[in-house]
Amino acid sequence: MAVRYPNAFQTPSRNVNANRNHTLSELSTYGAVKTTSATKIIVAVVFTVVVVTLLAAAITVPLVLALTNTGPFATTKSSGTTTTAVTTTTVATTAATTTSSFSECSSYANISDATRLATASSGTACDSSTFSSSTTWVRFTGSGGTQLATSAPSANQCGTQASGWYSGSLPSSGSSINGTACYVWGSNNCNWSNTVRVTNCGSFYVFGLVIPPVCNARYCTV
């Protein structure tokens, strides 16, 4: 079968003459040449598109990251750390057996007076000249005894007329308590009274004493 073309075609190996009849083989070769050229063009275009896409991605990704983490469009991811405040509380306690807990155990006045003994004879002494309305801490020592009398003496004893004594129980070691001092008058063992304080310092007592309510009244010792 022969096909006539009006124009001449150039092939890689020979000219195609439009004035002569061509065989199917020659036409196939010509079509292959055209197909090969088109394929190369398509490949080149695809390659170019891929390269451009990669270049665009290479530029766009860092730019997006930069805008995301810095600048006016930056977003900040905050990581929260929970801190537990441990709060330690110190409770001040006073040990009942610690004599140093009481300042009066190391700061007191010594009284050594044998006329204060509950067995001493009558007199007119009055503790208004020895004590005041403010508490005075005293420690009785020596021949005058070591503590207040804890039972009622007779009236007119220990150098006075109204004999004073401590009515109540003495505190245990390392303790301090309030108590009552009574004054004997006639047959009444507690005709007058006032509050006193007693602290057991371990090996001795100290007494927080104030002025008696009347004269002539006095604290008696044993």
Give the model confidence (pLDDT) of 185-206 as tens digits. 999 999 999 999 999 999 999 9
197, part of any domain: yes
pLDDT digits (tens, 9 = 90+) for 96-135: 333 558 999 999 999 999 999 999 999 999 999 999 999 9
Cα-based angle 67, 71, 72 (whole degrees, multiple of 5): 100
14, part of any domain: yes
Are 63 and 152 found together in one domain?
Answer: no
pTM passes above 0.75: no
Do residues 183 and 160 make contact, with C-beta atoms less than 8 angstroms apart? no
Mean per-residue pLDDT, 14-30: 47
93, part of any domain: no
The letter for the amino acid at 47 is: F
Higher pLDDT, 32 or 183: 183
For strands 162-167 and 217-219, give the pairing: parallel
Are 46 and 150 found together in one domain?
Answer: no
34, part of any domain: yes
Are 120 and 64 found together in one domain?
Answer: no
Are 14 and 108 found together in one domain?
Answer: no
Q: How far apart are CA 155 and CA 170, in angstroms?
A: 23
Phi, psi of 182 (to 5 degrees): -105, 155
62, part of any domain: yes
Do residues 106 and 202 make contact, with C-beta atoms less than 8 angstroms apart? no
Q: How far apart are CA 99 and CA 200, in angstroms?
A: 8
pLDDT digits (tens, 9 = 90+) for 45-74: 667 776 667 776 666 555 444 444 444 444
Tell me how many domains the chain contains.
2
| Residue 84: pLDDT over 80 | no
Token reading at 169: 């129980």
pLDDT at position 52 is: 65
151, part of any domain: yes
Q: How confident is the model at residue 6 (pLDDT cuts 50, 70, 90)?
A: very low
* Domain span holding position 49: 9-69
Mean per-residue pLDDT, 17-36: 48
127, part of any domain: yes
In the block, which residue shows the tokens 């199917």? 24
HSE-up (13 A, CA, CB side) for residue 145: 16
